[in-house]
């Protein structure tokens, strides 16, 4: 019976961590898309998020000011409004939210 209780506790803890992770992903996505004209292109389940922004964007500095550690991955191209747009690509590692 004790194993079932531990399993239920682990399952609840995992569900809570997933909910926190989705909430954090939604907040980062909103910040990136709304304020800074960038794109969060990773699904909420990834531990490393890929963020793209135009070279003139202040997004990397703004995220760094908020305590996020961005790692540059290089450059790429997006199609926006029928035009090719150069972008800088960054990786943002989200630590585990489990306690």
Q: Are the CB atoms for 39 and 51 separated by under 8 Å? A: yes
pTM: 0.79
Q: Are 4 and 12 in contact (CB under 8 A)?
A: no
Domains of the chain: total: 1
- Span 24-73, pLDDT tens digits: 899 999 999 987 789 999 998 888 999 999 999 999 999 999 888 899 99
The answer to whether residue 9 is domain-embedded is: yes
Position 49 scores a pLDDT of 93
Q: Confirm whether 12 is domain-assigned.
A: yes
| Assigned domain for 62 exists | yes
Domain for residue 98, yes or no?
no
Residue 99 lies in a domain: no
- Better-predicted residue by pLDDT, 11 or 97: 11
For residue 13, what are the domain limits? 2-93
């Amino acid at each position: 019976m004790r194993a079932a209780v531990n399993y239920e506790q682990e399952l609840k803890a995992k569900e809570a961590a997933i909910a926190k992770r989705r909430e954090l992903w939604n907040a980062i996505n909103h910040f990136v898309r709304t304020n800074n004209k960038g794109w969060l292109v990773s699904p909420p389940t990834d531990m490393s998020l890929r963020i793209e922004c135009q070279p003139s964007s202040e997004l990397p500095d703004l995220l760094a000011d908020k305590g996020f550690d961005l790692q540059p991955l290089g450059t790429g191209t997006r199609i926006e409004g029928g035009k090719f747009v150069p972008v800088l690509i960054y990786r943002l590692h989200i630590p585990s939210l489990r306690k």
